Structure 1
Amino acid sequence: MSEISQAGGTLGAGDRNRSLTYIFGLMLLVGFGSPAAGLVDVPITFFLKNKLHLPAHEVANFRLVAAIPLYVGFLFGFARDRWDILGRKDRGMMMVFASVCAAAYAGFAFVPVSYPMLMAAVALSAVAWSFARAAEQGLASMAGQQLAVTGWMSVIWSMAASVPYLGAYLIGGALSQALEGRTAEQAARTLFLVAAGVMGAMALYSAWKPKFLYSHLKAEAHADRPLQDLARLFRHWPVYPALAVWFLWSFAPGSGTALQFHMQNTLHASDTQWGAWNAIFAAAFIPTYLVYGALCRRFTARTLLFWGTAVGIPQMVPLYFIHSVDQAMWAAAVIGLTGGVASAAYIDLLMRSAPKALQGTIMMTAGSLYWVAIRFGDVLGTRLYEQAGGFGACVIAITVVYALIVPVLLTVPRSLIATREGEVLPLEEPALEVGAQETLHA
């Protein structure tokens, strides 16, 4: 597949690869800057556990409440689909709100550390971060649809999520251990200033408007009235099974706080070893993400969805049999490798299912469901861990939830997933394309 013919011109392989690389850079920066999954999250968890001595369920409850802005991510996505900040659409939104998020992080770096301060820092920075995230996700999804590269876009999306996760646990776990002798204020100042620098870098990066991407994209109009857009969204059936699959895949009770307490209290892993486990887990996804990138050009999305799900259902079962930290590290690699194809396939499905001019809403709705699933699954997992026989109950619960994905996939419209990478997608309402972004946005 050397060329893809588009309404905005012919997209050569070079422009396609450069466009994917550019968006990958945006995704990396917004990932590292996340208040809930980036560099800030892991050390805060360690602070709550090691310095405030909170039990598992209270740490889970903190993360549940602090993530409230993330549960309503669809609102930020809908704002992205309708706003045109500074006349630069997605670029303007990223420039403004990445700057606001950086300023918020910098401000909290000089506030005395306490439970309420940490809660406010995570929740308030999440609001500004979510606006920047909505623009990045909307741009990526729109480009994936218009350039017929949803398969590879899902690969770089998945990799861009894994790398910050990997880095956050490696850096965060080691930093938490290194800062044990320092005051909480010193540790917090370092972490928040680093996060401020990351979001500041995103603001600068998003100011760049590369022609190799924007000259091939068409702006997509929306209805004059918000209620008309919402009505169009609610009538668009393909989004429902796609979002349901994503929710089930994200809802893994026990894979967060319960696993951390199991590793550290039962297997006696250190903070650094817990960080290393998560880093191995995240890194192990990457090879099978790349496998999906190769397979999506040869097989239809439907084939990859079902085979990826079949391999992914027993993903967490190896955790049932671990009895040492060394065994846990090997299990992390196996778990990551078995989940990569499914994760990439589900993101591909989300992009394919999004109606035009509402990509931001759909992708941020998926983000909302992810955080709802993660945080409530975390609470359920800690209850199973503490009250239902330990971590084995969590493994069983996760496997049952993953198995429920199969019947949901059967409801996905066949035409939506009948194409390979590079083949034109059966998108609805082509009249919504109204002009080249290169000429519309400064």
Structure 2
Amino acid sequence: MEVEDLSARDESASLPEPPSAGGSTMQWEVLAYFAILNIAVGLGSPFGIAGIPINYFLKDRLHLSPVRLALFLAIASIPVCAGFLFGFIRDRWRSAKWGDRQYLFACALVATSGYLWLAASTIDYFKLLALVFVIVIAYVMIFSSAQALMTGVAQAYGMTGRLSVVFGFGYFTPAVISALAGGWLVAHASVSGTFLIAGAVTIVIAMQAFWRLKAASDFESDFGPREKGFAAIKRLIRHRPLWPAAAIYFLWNFGPGWGTPMFYHLTEHVGISSELFGTFTALQSLFFLPTTLLYGYLCTREPLSRLLWWGTIVAILQGPIMFLAIGPVSTIIVAILYGLFGGFATAAYIDLIMRSCPKGLEGTAMMLANTSMFAIAGNVGNLLGSWIYSKGGFASAVIITTLATAVIVPLLRAIPPHLIATRDGEPIDPATT
């Protein structure tokens, strides 16, 4: 088939009419399937339940500076930054029988083996970096398959808004658990025990590979026309709706004031304990959930265009509130406000990305616009913020973070209007752009 034919069919990234078979029972099964999968992925990854213990191990046991700690995290995140390559592998090579489940199963076993190796051996800097790097590779492949599968089902059943909420819960719920458990594990458990727990969670992903969700199987059975690799890349590049969504998500996650600078500012200058820092991180993520749920309620009642504006205006306020964190009590209040101001915008941006993905390239597009942008923005912001923090203090880093979020406002006008004119569950006007 000619590439032009595929491009014409996919240029709008429109949602088809939602199938009526299965009704609400099918939709709840879809929501449950992806909720469990996303939560397991969020908890099991090296940035999940093991994240805070690894940070403290590097800071307190190996005595890394802020810049060196940020560099370790940046190196470990290289596979995430290149996540679109893993998505492309997923889009091009899947077995007809297993589909995405082949990657869930095989990569979960690889990641579990890596955790067991870390738990059973003496850890130094280079061994920790090498094995974490391998585990991250396995998890990026898992994540690319999970995201592509969720996006395909969301588009087919008109559920991009509701599944963006599930995505948010799959990210923020593990973040809450990881923060609370991670802070506790630093004080009460060994690093080896932490890796054993992360390995046990990873086994859940391997087990889910045997759950045959009908909506997922229907999506995977329709491979559609086969393109050559270069033709697929060309179609992705020409797919206009994807790029504003990717740029917005980059700016949203570009936070020189967060990550390592905030970690050092709160633990060394404000003087909070490891357990209180874990509580702070947990509350940040926990209070993303109420406004994420609010998005789930409003997305079927208001068009995405309106929700994007609401979410962005409120999200700009997220940066300045960090200046209020001057002691234990105010730090907790800031954590709550931080989450409340960010949950709605995050759900809206994920909804936009799901709507913007071209058919047949869900893995590549989602990993590019979501995961790669998240990782690149996060690591660039973290490295830049660590340098700014060392030279000019925390305030400068927070100001740059706020300005980056404000730049999203003019980008909203670059989104193809037909893509965001409908509510969740309504078919998108197949107008071309």
Judged with a 3 Å threshold, the aligned counterparts in structure 2 of structure 1 residues 276 and 109 are, in CA distance, closer, same or farther, namely same
Match of 1:142 in 2: 152
Aligned partner (choices 230, 233, 245) of residue 230 of structure 1: 233
Match of 1:52 in 2: 62
Aligned partner (choices 392, 396, 400) of residue 395 of structure 2: 392
Deviation sequence 1:156-199 (CA, Å, 0-9, x none)? 101110011111111111110124xxxxxxx2321222111111
In 2: Cα distance, 1:164 partner to 1:47 partner: 21
Contact conserved, 2:66 with 2:260, CA < 8 A, in 1? yes
Pairing 1:20–2:31 present: yes
Contact conserved, 2:18 with 2:158, CA < 8 A, in 1? no
Contact conserved, 2:285 with 2:339, CA < 8 A, in 1? yes
Pairing 1:317–2:320 present: yes
Secondary structure at the counterpart of residue 21 of structure 2 = strand
Q: Which runs of 5+ in 2 are unaligned?
A: 1-14
Measured after TM superposition, the shift of residue 361 of structure 1 is: 0.6
TM-score of the aligned structures, taking structure 2 as reference length: 0.93
In 1: Cα distance, 2:37 partner to 2:24 partner: 20
Match of 1:194 in 2: 197
Contact conserved, 1:148 with 1:423, CA < 8 A, in 2? yes
Match of 2:5 in 1: none
Measured after TM superposition, the shift of residue 141 of structure 1 is: 0.7
Secondary structure at the counterpart of residue 423 of structure 1 = coil
**Residue correspondences, number:** 417
Aligned partner (choices 91, 98, 104) of residue 114 of structure 2: 104
Q: Which amino acid aligns with 1:159?
A: F
Pairing 1:31–2:42 present: yes
Match of 1:369 in 2: 373
Contact conserved, 1:309 with 1:405, CA < 8 A, in 2? yes
Pairing 1:301–2:311 present: no
Match of 2:87 in 1: 77
Pairing 1:352–2:363 present: no
Measured after TM superposition, the shift of residue 55 of structure 1 is: 1.6
Question: How do 1:171-250 residues align onto structure 2 when only pairs under 5 Å count?
Answer: 171-179=181-189, 187-211=190-214, 214-215=217-218, 219-250=222-253
Match of 2:10 in 1: none
208-217 or 169-178: bigger deviation: 208-217
Match of 2:139 in 1: 129
Contact conserved, 1:222 with 1:229, CA < 8 A, in 2? no
Q: Which amino acid aligns with 1:277?
A: F
Deviation sequence 1:236-258 (CA, Å, 0-9, x none)? 00000000000000001121111
Deviation sequence 1:353-386 (CA, Å, 0-9, x none)? 0000111111111201111111111111112212
Contact conserved, 1:356 with 1:428, CA < 8 A, in 2? no
Aligned partner (choices 126, 145, 153) of residue 116 of structure 1: 126
Contact conserved, 1:416 with 1:426, CA < 8 A, in 2? yes
Measured after TM superposition, the shift of residue 212 of structure 1 is: 5.9
Judged with a 3 Å threshold, the aligned counterparts in structure 2 of structure 1 residues 66 and 38 are, in CA distance, closer, same or farther, namely same
Aligned partner (choices 78, 81, 85) of residue 68 of structure 1: 78
Contact conserved, 1:46 with 1:176, CA < 8 A, in 2? yes
In 2: Cα distance, 1:289 partner to 1:321 partner: 24
In 1: Cα distance, 2:61 partner to 2:224 partner: 51
Contact conserved, 2:81 with 2:375, CA < 8 A, in 1? yes
Judged with a 3 Å threshold, the aligned counterparts in structure 2 of structure 1 residues 5 and 226 are, in CA distance, closer, same or farther, namely closer
41-50 or 94-103: bigger deviation: 94-103
In 2: Cα distance, 1:83 partner to 1:207 partner: 19
Secondary structure at the counterpart of residue 313 of structure 1 = helix
In 1: Cα distance, 2:340 partner to 2:40 partner: 24
Q: Which runs of 5+ in 1 are unaligned?
A: 180-186, 430-442
Judged with a 3 Å threshold, the aligned counterparts in structure 2 of structure 1 residues 426 and 108 are, in CA distance, closer, same or farther, namely farther
Deviation sequence 1:31-77 (CA, Å, 0-9, x none)? 11112x21122111010111112121111111111211111100110
Q: Which amino acid aligns with 1:238?
A: P
Secondary structure at the counterpart of residue 314 of structure 1 = helix
Deviation sequence 1:339-366 (CA, Å, 0-9, x none)? 1110000000000000001111111112
In 2: Cα distance, 1:222 partner to 1:268 partner: 58
Contact conserved, 2:316 with 2:405, CA < 8 A, in 1? yes
Measured after TM superposition, the shift of residue 8 of structure 1 is: 5.6
Judged with a 3 Å threshold, the aligned counterparts in structure 2 of structure 1 residues 213 and 358 are, in CA distance, closer, same or farther, namely closer
In 2: Cα distance, 1:318 partner to 1:6 partner: 43
Contact conserved, 1:11 with 1:216, CA < 8 A, in 2? no
Judged with a 3 Å threshold, the aligned counterparts in structure 2 of structure 1 residues 85 and 220 are, in CA distance, closer, same or farther, namely closer
Pairing 1:382–2:361 present: no
Aligned partner (choices 335, 340, 350) of residue 337 of structure 1: 340
Match of 2:8 in 1: none
345-354 or 82-91: bigger deviation: 82-91
TM-score of the aligned structures, taking structure 1 as reference length: 0.91
Measured after TM superposition, the shift of residue 221 of structure 1 is: 2.0
Secondary structure at the counterpart of residue 222 of structure 2 = strand
